[in-house]
Amino acid sequence: MSQLVGYARTSTTDQKAGLEAQLRDLRAVGCTKLFHEELSALATTRPELERMLDYVREGDTLVVTKPDRLARSTSDLLAIAKQLEADGVTLRILSMNVDTATPTGKLMLTILGGIAAFERDLMLERQREGIAKAKAEGKYKGRAPTARAKGDEVKRLKAEGLTADVIAEQLGIGRASVFRILRAN
């Protein structure tokens, strides 16, 4: 039996009214199961989002009030939408009147994806132009090779009998970098 599943999120616990409003709106459209959390979209893990994605089944519809409540960015939104589609779950975004169960909803999501890709391409182009200009002006040197610059210290510490883990910790570099330096000699 398919159902409407709601997901709500606020960035902080200070936004109780915002969370309550989202939950009210989700209930008003008929969501029978609600997942909600109070943490930043930038958090590395969003447990309730993961629980919701595990919970939804083929034929279900995920409902959110706004796209930024579900995803960190347009590309993140599209990745979540793709995962939902693969699971046979449709997505409804109330603020945009987008419903991927309809051809128009799918089109709107595809347009968002195109815009996101376009924005990313423009950003990368501007970045390349900025780097080229900085190089031409002698201002761009690239990232400093942190581990390779410490090659002599790595060799000295290894000669003193220290392990790769201890060397990495003492010099503030990765263990793999220690092995890379030692293999090069």
Residue 11 known to be catalytic: yes
DSSP the chain: ---EEEEEEESSTT-HHHHHHHHHHHHHTT-SEEEEEES-TTSS--HHHHHHHHH--TT-EEEESSHHHH-SSHHHHHHHHHHHHHTT-EEEEGGGTEETTSHHHHHHHHHHHHHHHHHHHHHHHHHHHHHHHHHHTT----S--TTGGGHHHHHHHHHTT--HHHHHHHHT--HHHHHHHHHT-
Q: Which of 11, 73, 95, 177 is catalytic?
A: 11
Q: Which residues are catalytic?
A: 11
